[in-house]
Amino acid sequence: TPLGAASVQPLRARMIRRADVQRAMQARALYDRDGDGHYDLISAMHKSLRGGDVDASLYYIARMLSAGEEPRYVTRRLIRFAAEDVGLADERALPQAIAADQAVAAIGMPEAGVAIAQAATFLACAAKSCAVYRAWNGAMLAAQREPHHAVPLHIRNAPTRLMRDLDYSRGYVYNPANGYSRGCAQGFLPAEMAGRRFFDPRDFEDAEPPCPLPLRHRAAAAMAVEEGVAPKGVAPHGRGDGAFARQADGPVLGELATPQQPPRLDHSDCQAD
């Protein structure tokens, strides 16, 4: 008897039933990177993040990654979301998303999955603002429709005497030497676009997001909310030190008035209405 022959079992035919196929299909998610399912899932992720639903956001990301999606596709979408939907409401969002992308490059999957989850959780919790996104779209549209307006003389480069004789850079006031003043008498946009506005600093979420305060500050912040006084450096509503944050030790640069008292955009010193 050949060595090991006694342990060889005869092959037996087995009927493959419909239920067997269904179980096999369900064990591995059907996912086509170029199909509708791919776009449905990434759309669901974006909308869940925008709506502040952490659980749904993590679920759709997990669906994509477990089905074989390229992790850096997901992190690229998180980077885009951070700039488009969070923006200046919390300037920590973009570094969080970029860090997740770098984590994928540095340690790969599955280890970087938790870094992706952290970034997604932060983005879902963060305050939202589309102000920069809308301003950028407006500026791009204007540049495409009006690409030939002359740059005002006073802010043109004047490296030669001839250019200076032609009034290039004449009348320009160096703002830092003028008390860091904002604007200028002549304005900065082309004359045909005087008074045009792309950025609206009032375009931000006024609700109080549920996070993303560092965990070590949660208890202190909760107590501060009850007492009506936030500890120094902590914003109890979770906006952190963002450009629109309100701090206990006074407003930060870029803080907005409440909706009942919208800020007055006074640019009378640099535009001709």
- CA 207 to each of CA 89, 195, 238, 259: distance values in angstroms, whole numbers, following the listed order: 11, 31, 10, 11
| pLDDT of res. 199 | 95
| pLDDT of res. 60 | 97
Q: How confident is the model at residue 183 (pLDDT cuts 50, 70, 90)?
A: confident
CB atoms within 10 A of CB 213: 20
Task: For residues 96 and 214, give the distance between their C-alpha atoms in angstroms, rounded to a whole number.
Answer: 13
Task: For residues 30 and 40, give the distance between their C-alpha atoms in angstroms, rounded to a whole number.
Answer: 13
| pLDDT of res. 207 | 67
DSSP SS3 for 214: coil
- CA 13 to each of CA 7, 9, 10, 16, 21: distance values in angstroms, whole numbers, following the listed order: 19, 13, 10, 9, 16
CB 97 within 8 A of CB 82: yes
Least confident of 126-140, 192-206, 216-230: 216-230
| pLDDT of res. 95 | 97
pTM of the model: 0.68
Instruction: State pLDDT tens for residues 12-25.
Output: 667 888 887 776 66
Instruction: State pLDDT tens for residues 55-100.
Output: 999 999 999 999 999 999 999 999 999 999 999 999 999 999 999 9
Q: Which of 83, 18, 74, 12 is nearest to 41 (CA)?
A: 74
Instruction: State pLDDT tens for residues 192-214.
Output: 999 999 999 999 987 666 654 55
Q: Which of 198, 185, 213, 166 is nearest to 270 (CA)?
A: 185
- CA 270 to each of CA 163, 172, 195, 253: distance values in angstroms, whole numbers, following the listed order: 24, 12, 9, 21
Residue 188 scores a pLDDT above 50 = yes
Residue 264 scores a pLDDT above 90 = no
Say which residue, 127 or 210, is predicted with more confidence.
Answer: 127
